[in-house]
Amino acid sequence: MTRNMPALSNPVTVYYHPGLRAERKTFMNARTVVRRQERAQKSSIKNFDRKHENIPAPSSRPQLKKIPLLDLTRKYRSIEAELRRQWGSVFSSMKLLNGSNLSAFEGEFAAYCGVKYAVGVASGTDAIYLSLQALRISTGDEVILPAHVPAPVIEPVIAAGAKPVLIDKAVGDYGPDLNGLRKAINPRTKAILAVHMLGLPCDMQAILEVAQKRNIPVVEDASQAQGAVYKRRRAAGWGAITPMSLGPVKNLASYGDGGVVLTNDEQLAQYVRLLRVHGQAEKYDHKIYGWNSRLDELQAVVLRLKLPTLDRDNARRAAIAAEYSKCFADLPVITPPQFFDRTSVYHQYVVETPHRDPLQRFLESNGIGTGIYYPVSLHQHQAWKAKKLPAYSLPEAERYARENLAIPVFAELNDEVREYFSSKA
């Protein structure tokens, strides 16, 4: 019997693609899934088994209520009145940069993350770039990073003049392949970029063990993991420096661009503070050549307003994710990996299946928003090839790029998803 999923809200009914049917509950590894799906794929892509299930074609269905992948307006509405009041006082003062909201946010966020210093900057891309600058990464240096991460992670490496060295994704984890990491290290390696992908912290202890033996600093990109926990501590401040995007779609999100650099190292913090204001210690006292990268007061207000509810919002994401994973347990899709000592904040909830493209079309045609994080590995971008960077074969990153599909998991979705799952029980 084709398994069908009840509506997220009436009258939407989501039907599983029969190619994703499983005969019994099973926890399959990636290879098993690939083999099964290759067999199933030949026959199943076009066959939605409508004739057996009497499912009306999308065109003949009543108007679908859309469930977006992410709806930022809902959070905004919940803080709108207070936000407008606080923005009003920023505008009255016209103190727009380097003001009291920025310093308050830096203090509050450092305390939340359990890290000594937080330095607000203009974006996550800048946060990585300034972190690399603070570590004095420059021309001729090599920086190791995984290939399945988004492009903004590699751009600062290129901008710093360093050579990016790519490694594969770990199987069964969103972190880097540790064997590949060990092999990629050489005397020119000056930093390792670990990225907490999709809300799940990397296995930082294992990465740090590899790095510390060779005295290589770890840059810990936590852009997708605000509030995540690794071994009972927040996923920040494990590496030498933690750049983080706070852009509009992040778990803790500004209403424009924003970022922060976290570190327990006073000198690194001080250097990033100088870099973000053109290297000035005081006005026109340029100690070094820096950059312009400031988290403005309007964004600092947004972030301060949202920080107190971040844990609650992350818990809602986790509850939705848990219900998804329970519901999908019998299906031959790979659900997000779970580890007893890591708490994901489910920046995205991603399933992996060789049927990704037809499944995406199917969900979209049933009103369910989807996304792909990310569809192309770094070494397969046009930009990579145009720079004549070396060709790589990184099978797990490439498979993951082909197979991942994100479905809605934002905190304010809670009620719809509860309704959806309770009608299934």
- Distance in angstroms (rounded) separating the CA atoms of residues 28 and 258: 39
**C-beta closer to ligand PLP: residue 130 or 333:** 130
**C-beta closer to ligand PLP: residue 149 or 165:** 149
- Distance in angstroms (rounded) separating the CA atoms of residues 380 and 154: 13
> For ligand PLP, which stretch binds (CB under 6 A), given 130-138, 164-172, 221-229, 275-283?
221-229
Q: Among residues 19, 150, 367, 408, which is the contact residue for ligand PLP, using CB under 6 A?
A: 150
Which residue type sits at 227? G
Is there binding between residue 152 and ligand PLP (CB under 6 A)?
A: yes
User: How many helices and strands in the chain, by DSSP H and E?
Assistant: 15, 16
Shortest approach of ligand PLP to residue 16 CB, angstroms? 29
How many C-beta atoms surround the C-beta of residue 12 within 10 A?
Answer: 21
Q: Among residues 199, 227, 239, 247, which is the contact residue for ligand PLP, using CB under 6 A?
A: 247
- Distance in angstroms (rounded) separating the CA atoms of residues 171 and 169: 6
Shortest approach of ligand PLP to residue 15 CB, angstroms? 32
Q: Among residues 44, 86, 101, 224, which is the contact residue for ligand PLP, using CB under 6 A?
A: 224
**Whether 254 contacts 239, CB under 8 Å:** no
DSSP state of 55: P
Q: What are phi and psi of 178, to 5 degrees?
A: -70, -35
Shortest approach of ligand PLP to residue 65 CB, angstroms? 28
6 CB-contact burial (10 Å; exposed 0-12 / middle 13-18 / buried 19+): middle
Can you give the length of the chain in residues?
425
Is there binding between residue 366 and ligand PLP (CB under 6 A)?
A: no
Q: Residue 366: helix, strand or coil by DSSP?
A: coil
Which residue has its beta carbon closest to ligand PLP?
Answer: 124
**Whether 237 contacts 115, CB under 8 Å:** yes
**C-beta closer to ligand PLP: residue 300 or 333:** 300
Shortest approach of ligand PLP to residue 151 CB, angstroms? 9
Is there binding between residue 124 and ligand PLP (CB under 6 A)?
A: yes
Q: Among residues 173, 257, 296, 297, which is the contact residue for ligand PLP, using CB under 6 A?
A: 257
> For ligand PLP, which stretch binds (CB under 6 A), given 129-137, 150-158, 171-179, 313-321?
150-158
DSSP state of 340: T
- Distance in angstroms (rounded) separating the CA atoms of residues 189 and 307: 36
Break the chain down into helix, strand, coil percent, rounded to 5: 45, 15, 40
Shortest approach of ligand PLP to residue 125 CB, angstroms? 3
- Distance in angstroms (rounded) separating the CA atoms of residues 417 and 9: 8
Shortest approach of ligand PLP to residue 164 CB, angstroms? 14
- Distance in angstroms (rounded) separating the CA atoms of residues 262 and 55: 52
Taking each helix axis from N to C end, the angle separating 72-93 and 297-306, rounded to the nearest 10 degrees, works out to 130
Q: Which tokens sit at 9?
A: 């809200």
Q: Among residues 106, 173, 177, 221, which is the contact residue for ligand PLP, using CB under 6 A?
A: 221
Size of the site for ligand PLP (CB under 6 A): 15
Task: Annotate each residue in 258-297 with x if it binds ligand PLP (CB under 6 A) or - if it does not, as one string.
Answer: -x--------------------------------------
> For ligand PLP, which stretch binds (CB under 6 A), given 148-156, 169-177, 211-219, 290-298?
148-156
Is there binding between residue 223 and ligand PLP (CB under 6 A)?
A: yes
Task: Annotate each residue in 190-219 with x if it binds ligand PLP (CB under 6 A) or - if it does not, as one string.
Answer: -----x------------------------
Is there binding between residue 166 and ligand PLP (CB under 6 A)?
A: no
Q: Among residues 67, 70, 153, 162, which is the contact residue for ligand PLP, using CB under 6 A?
A: 153
- Distance in angstroms (rounded) separating the CA atoms of residues 354 and 35: 9
β-bridge partners, 233: 230
Q: Which residues bind ligand PLP (CB under 6 A)?
A: 123-125, 149-150, 152-153, 195, 221, 223-224, 245, 247, 257, 259
